[in-house]
Amino acid sequence: MTKLLATVTKELLLLRRDRGGLLVLFVMPAVLVLVITLVQENVLKTVGESETRILLVNSDDGELGELIERKLQDSGKLTVHKHIEEGDIDERQAAAAIARGDFQFCVVLPQGLTQAVRRKARQTVRESLSLAPETGEQPVAAPVIRIYFDPAVLGGYRSAVRNSLQLMVYGIEVNEKMVALEELLPKKISATLQKEMGDFMPEAFTLPPAEFQMDWSDSPLLAFEEAAASTGRDGPTPTSVQQNVPAWTLFGIFFIVLPLAGSLIKERRDGTFFRLLSMPVPIFTLIVGKIFAYVLVCLVQIIVIFCIGRFGLPLLGTPSLDMGPQLAAIVIVALSAVLAATGYGTMLGTVLRTYEQASVVGPISVVIAAALGGVMVPVYAMPTMMQKISVLSPLSWGLDAFLDLFVRGGNLQTVWPEIAALLSFFIANLAVARIYFLRRTQYKG
Amino acid sequence: MTADATEANDNSKRALEAKPPLTVMNLVKVYPKSSLPALQDLNLVVGNGEIYGLLGPNGAGKTTAISIMTAGLLPTEGRVEIYGLDVVRHRSRVKQLIGLVPQDIALYPDLTARENLSYFGKLYGLSGSELADRIAETLELVGLTGKADQVVKTYSGGMKRRVNLAAGILHTPRLVFLDEPTVGIDAQSRNLILEKLSSLKSSGTTMIYTTHYMEEAQQLCTRAAVMDEGRVIEEGPPASLIQKHPDCGNLGDLFLKLTGKNLRD
């Protein structure tokens, strides 16, 4: 135990003095998480995958303006702002704010909207029932709701926004027409009866207003549902923070391969390893001590980056990292991923002969595994073929497990295949390292 | 420790000391993909308190022999015994008895001399005040007490060699393997190392010593073996070897006579 502790202490001391290594282990992933999350957060906003900030200029003083505002707020993905810098805004100021990119789009409700819609509805229904116009009634023009889009908002998302607003307006329209129909239908029936019955019609006869059930939205005539076209990674998609924080954390911990493999190669190159072999300590203790030290460093790395996601990123305007309630499962996934990374580093440090080889093979293989594993582009956004290949990457196993826990409501039971894969990867790498180590001690001269 | 345990320990020590520190029997090493053996039928017996020189040009097999003797490499054939213990079968026990001063500066350059010695000492099972005392003693022995808390990478070549030696003798081994311990350093450092090796010899430590410096071997070794192409071509006390070859004035001349003047790469 003393020998193991001595090895762990020595490794931590060496790591503390390796400024380049610390930079790779802590600063690089932290900066990557910050930069990529902020960049992707903006991209997601332009395609509507992230919470969208919109501006509402409500010049209407009636119920419909309030109704539209409420529906926008209840949509879930929109944050509705009605003021800029503490003051009310007009259409011109709103257009300028959109042009600056402060908001993704703006909805302008004109003055007198409610009144105009109701008059128009009444007029339309009256015309459709062929009722005589009311005294002094002038034709009413349909009021216009204007939308301003940030130029960065992409076409597909613009269409989706337009269609949603159209649908909302259509609902209001149907409702207002029904209100008008409630009032005008009895008049039409009375007029028809008067015409057909002539003098038989009692003079004082009037029909009461029709009372329609107006909760149309609760009883749709047709429904639709979205179905998965293929089996695989379906379900909720993560926010940019939930995607990027675990993704770049895994990238960062897999970069441990460079200092770890480098330290093994340096020990061999400097002859220290030869000295260690002549000492009364099992090689197992030396390797476990080294791995243990690097595992500790990686765990600190994970805590730091998750804290950045939880507390740092929200200060820059992104959502906070939501890790879900499965803390124990998160720790086990993190530990498995760290072991997989250290196992890979140990294998590279044993198989490769020079530091130069490790400094090329290590980072390149990690970058490839990261790209395949969905670190750079989420796996759900990859072509089907790449999605199939992505299952080969240990970073994909780690990321999938984290996303299961953070986004998809998973628990230890749902992520155990990924944990098993990561631990198997660790063991397989150590087995390869052992084979090469035995070969090398046979051959050493 | 009880009186019985102490007695058992002393008996075990005495039993070990009754055996020769190093016995090499018919040692052969053939590296894969190599047509020539690195060692061919090597036989040696080194007695207590001896400094045994292994002399030979580059590629003679000295480092291979030391690697096998220190359990860092498996032999193809033959066996090595340290105080009667087979190196392959009793690796762990053998490693407690030996010390190694490798040809390379086998230290962590980013650690101080004290931190290096502390780590290696703990691997040898030293701890607490015993470890602190041994570190202080060895640092004093190699003249680095004042610079002990400086990181090794800031040391001169000679200072690094001295720490390298300190790390090999920290745990007071009975048998020390020194593989070119003075290569590439200034005369002062070499002189200091040779002095310290002489004092180790007088304290009864047995040493196996490889060097290219024939004057060193002549000055230090009680016996020497001249090796070439993996085999011993001449063996004996330096003075006897020179006597045996009257045309050679010193060990250097003898070395050239036995191994030839061709360059070895």
Tokens representing A199? 């003098």
A28-42, B66-80, B86-100, B110-124: range with lowest mean pLDDT: A28-42
Closest-CA residue in chain B for A440?
A: B73
Whether residue A230 is predicted with pLDDT greater than 60 in this model: the reply is no
Q: For chain A, give the percent of residues with pLDDT over 70.
A: 90
Of A296 and B259, which is predicted with more confidence?
A: A296
Cβ–Cβ gap B106/A17 under 8 Å: no
Which residues of A, range 12-31, sit inside 8 Å of B by Cβ?
13-14, 17-18
Q: Supply the ipTM of this predicted assembly.
A: 0.85
- Confidence (pLDDT) at A97: 84
Neighbours of B17 (CB within 10 A): 14
Q: For the residues A148-177, what does the mean pLDDT come to?
A: 80
Range A162-179 average pLDDT? 84
Q: How far is B229 from chain A (nearest CA, A)?
A: 14
B122: nearest CA partner in chain A: A3
In the prediction, which pLDDT does B103 show? 86
> pLDDT of A92-134, one tens digit each?
888 888 887 778 889 999 988 898 888 888 888 888 888 877 7
pLDDT exceeds 60 at position A271: yes
Answer whether A441 sits within 8 Å of B73, measured CB to CB: yes
Q: B35: helix, coil or strand?
A: coil
B249 touching chain A per CB within 8 A: no
* Chain B 49-68, residues with CB within 8 Å of chain A CB atoms: 63-64, 67
Interface contact flag, B96 A280, Cβ < 8 Å: yes
Q: Which structural domains are found in chain A, ordered by start?
A: 21-42+236-444 (no CATH), 52-228 (3.40.1710)
Per-residue confidence band for A443, with pLDDT thresholds at 50, 70 and 90: very low
Instruction: Work out the mean pLDDT of chain A and round it to a whole number.
Output: 83
- pTM of the prediction? 0.73
Q: Are A340 and A418 in contact (CB under 8 A)?
A: no
- Residue of chain B whose alpha carbon sits nearest to that of A266: B108
pLDDT at res. A409: 80
Q: Residue A445 — pLDDT band, cuts 50, 70, 90?
A: very low
**A32 three-state secondary structure:** helix
Give B24's pLDDT tier (boundaries 50, 70, 90). very high
Please indicate whether, in this complex, the C-beta atoms of B102 and A18 are within 8 angstroms of each other.
no
Q: Is the pLDDT of residue A229 over 60?
A: no
- How many Cβ pairs within 8 Å bridge chains A and B? 97
Residue B2 pLDDT grade (very low, low, confident, very high; cuts 50, 70, 90): low
Q: What residues in A contact B93, CB-CB < 8 Å?
A: 280
Residue B188 confidence class, pLDDT cut points 50, 70, 90? confident
Q: Does the beta-carbon distance from A275 to B102 stay under 8 Å? A: yes
Q: Which residue of chain A is at minimal alpha-carbon distance from B31?
A: A443
- Please tell me the distance in Å from A15's CA to the nearest CA on chain B: 9
Please identify among residues 65-84 of chain B the ones whose CB lies closer than 8 Å to any CB of chain A: 67, 70-74
Q: What is the DSSP string of A89-147?
A: --HHHHHHHHHTTSSSEEEEEPTTHHHHHHHHHHHHHHHHTTPPPPTTPPP-PPP--EE
Q: Is the pLDDT of residue A208 over 60?
A: yes
Instruction: Decide if A442 and B73 are in contact by the 8 Å CB cutoff.
Output: yes
Q: Give B-chain residues touching A17 at CB under 8 angstroms.
A: 110-111, 151
Tell which of A263, A264, A274 to mutate to test the B interface (max B CBs under 10 Å): A274
The residue assigned the tokens 């470890």 is: B131
Q: What is the pLDDT, as a whole number, of residue A86?
A: 59
Q: Cβ contact (<8 Å) for B72 and A441?
A: yes
Q: In terms of DSSP bridges, do strands B51-55 and B223-228 run parallel, antiparallel, or are they unpaired? A: parallel
Looking at residue A420, its pLDDT comes to 95
Tell me the angle at which helices A394-406 and A327-351 cross, rounded to the nearest 10 degrees: 170
Query: What is the band of A231 on the pLDDT scale with cuts at 50, 70, 90?
Result: very low
